[in-house]
């Protein structure tokens, strides 16, 4: 099979070295983080089941593995927009992502010159950095969309790769065949992917094929040179439950499966992006379908959001879908904040969205039997039994909020909280087990 061949070009990427039987320092770091043998990681990378997005220019990176039988990773989206271009707020979001241990940050800045922020982020970030070069094309090139050429688009991809971006979202699966399926079958929400909509508009205006599809080999050459992982974007992802698992989504997924093998043949690591919005009973089947059609490449999903009627609470609807998706085979969750569909998220939204998504990821890891997942919960339970509040805070996904809530209403009885006070079941049974007599009236 193509994904098990040793490529003949110069060894640059993690998949190049893995196929040659060599364990890189990044593979060793991932193995240690995951509690796996280095050879387990190497075999997964060589087969394409695991990706280690690690641009050779990103020197501050602490590598992470994304893929089969590894911890579910979480991504934070941030970046300025044309309406809200406050870079300081974006750095606050970065600090929250670092504080709460997000494994990835996507800079989705889409207004003006974005390179300065991107390069400084890469310089300081231990988390892997992703971008969507299509978002940057208009600001970087200073051209109208319909005036941009295929070579222009490739130049933007090249610049992001040279800057040190670890993975790039490339919407190469939206080709003429995909668009034909979409137009024939129709949709309630049409195309909701920002990058996908721009490519669709460019294709319709120029009459040309998707440049990222037509010149896919050239894109792969650029990515291979810098070891940038390609995240094959789902331009036709459903933007509402009504459109989930339709002809547009599935026809694009078929194309992405073909593109996955071509990337592996070129020595480029692959992740595949997925929906979107989807009813809860469709999620597991979609995860299995992606793994089958895309040859077990790591799957990166946004949500999915399991209902469309909870604006302001979409971090919850996405976390529900994310837990189901990850427990059914998804490897990487993109967070969703309470501001989804409403505005650019602020720092508070980022914290809320990231915590919700990390809960979903951890819940899925328990279900998948990931090493160490259940053990952390057991340590929390033991700390609760011993009423060791400091240890409980330290084990929490977000240590800040539980401390703040607990200290906002101090209990009269040491070791308890104001929910039960001296009638705390844990306190009562602890005393009985220690041979003490319980006398609530005199305590």
Annotated binding site: 77, 106, 135, 171, 193-195, 234-237, 273, 277, 300, 341, 417, 420, 424
Pair 358, 319: CB distance under 8 Å: no
List binding-site positions for Zn(2+): 277, 341
Which regions of 24-159 does DSSP assign to beta strands (E)? 50-51, 66-67, 73-78, 104-107, 128-131
What's the CA gap between 15 and 4, in Å, rounded? 10
The whole-angstrom separation of Cα 361 and Cα 359 is 5
Short-list 137, 121, 120, CA closest to 129:
121
Q: Are 75 and 333 in contact (CB under 8 A)?
A: yes
Cβ–Cβ under 8 Å, residues 72 and 332: yes
Burial class from Cβ neighbours inside 10 Å (0-12, 13-18, 19+) for residue 293 reads: middle
From the annotation, which residues make up the binding site for substrate? 77, 106, 135, 171, 193-195, 234-237, 273, 300
Give the annotated binding-site residues for [4Fe-4S] cluster. 417, 420, 424
Question: What Å distances lie between residue 316 and 276, 312, 313, 411, CA to CA?
Answer: 14, 9, 6, 30
Phi, psi for 66 (deg, rounded to 5): -120, 120
For residue 346, how far is the Cα from the chain centroid? Answer: 19
Measure the CA–CA gap between 419 and 435, rounded to whole angstroms: 25
Using alpha carbons, select from 126, 141, 92, 85 the residue that is nearest to residue 108.
Answer: 85
């Amino acid at each position: 099979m193509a994904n098990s061949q040793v490529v003949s070009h110069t060894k640059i990427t993690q998949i190049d070295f893995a196929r040659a039987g060599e364990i890189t320092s990044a593979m060793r770091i991932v193995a240690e983080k995951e509690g796996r043998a280095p050879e387990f990681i190497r075999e997964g990378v060589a087969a394409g089941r695991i990706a280690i997005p690690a641009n050779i220019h990103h020197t501050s990176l602490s590598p992470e593995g994304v893929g089969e039988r590894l911890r579910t990773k979480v991504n934070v989206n941030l970046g300025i927009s044309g309406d809200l271009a406050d870079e300081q707020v974006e750095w606050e979001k970065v600090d929250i992502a670092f504080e709460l241990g997000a494994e990835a940050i996507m800079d989705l800045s889409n207004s003006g010159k974005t390179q300065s922020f991107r390069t400084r982020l890469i310089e300081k970030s231990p988390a892997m950095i992703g971008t969507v070069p299509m978002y940057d094309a208009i600001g970087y090139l200073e051209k109208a969309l319909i005036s941009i050429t295929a070579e222009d688009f490739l130049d933007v991809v090249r610049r992001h790769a040279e800057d040190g971006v670890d993975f790039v979202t490339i919407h190469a699966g939206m080709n003429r065949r995909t668009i034909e399926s979409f137009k024939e079958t129709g949709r309630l929400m049409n195309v909701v992917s920002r990058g996908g909509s721009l490519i669709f508009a460019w294709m319709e205006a120029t009459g040309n094929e998707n440049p990222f599809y037509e010149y896919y080999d050239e894109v792969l050459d650029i990515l291979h040179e810098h070891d940038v992982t390609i995240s094959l974007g789902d331009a036709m992802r459903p933007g509402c439950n009504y459109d989930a698992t339709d002809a547009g989504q599935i026809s694009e997924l078929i194309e992405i499966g073909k593109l996955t093998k071509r990337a592996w043949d070129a020595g480029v690591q692959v992740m595949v992006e997925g929906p979107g919005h989807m009813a809860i009973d469709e999620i597991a089947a979609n995860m299995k379908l992606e793994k089958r059609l895309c040859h077990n490449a790591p799957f990166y999903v946004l949500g999915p959001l399991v209902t469309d009627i909870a604006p302001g609470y979409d971090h919850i609807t996405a976390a529900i879908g994310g837990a189901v998706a990850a427990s059914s085979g998804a490897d990487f969750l993109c967070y969703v904040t309470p501001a989804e569909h409403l505005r650019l998220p602020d720092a508070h939204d980022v914290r809320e969205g990231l915590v919700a998504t990390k809960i979903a990821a951890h819940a899925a890891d328990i279900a998948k039997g990931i090493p160490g997942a259940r053990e952390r919960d057991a340590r929390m339970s033991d700390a609760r039994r011993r009423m060791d509040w400091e240890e409980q805070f330290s084990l929490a996904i977000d240590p800040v909020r539980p401390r703040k809530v607990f200290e906002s209403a101090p209990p009269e009885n040491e070791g308890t909280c104001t929910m039960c006070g001296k009638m705390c079941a844990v306190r009562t049974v602890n005393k009985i087990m220690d041979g003490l007599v319980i006398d609530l009236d005199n305590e």
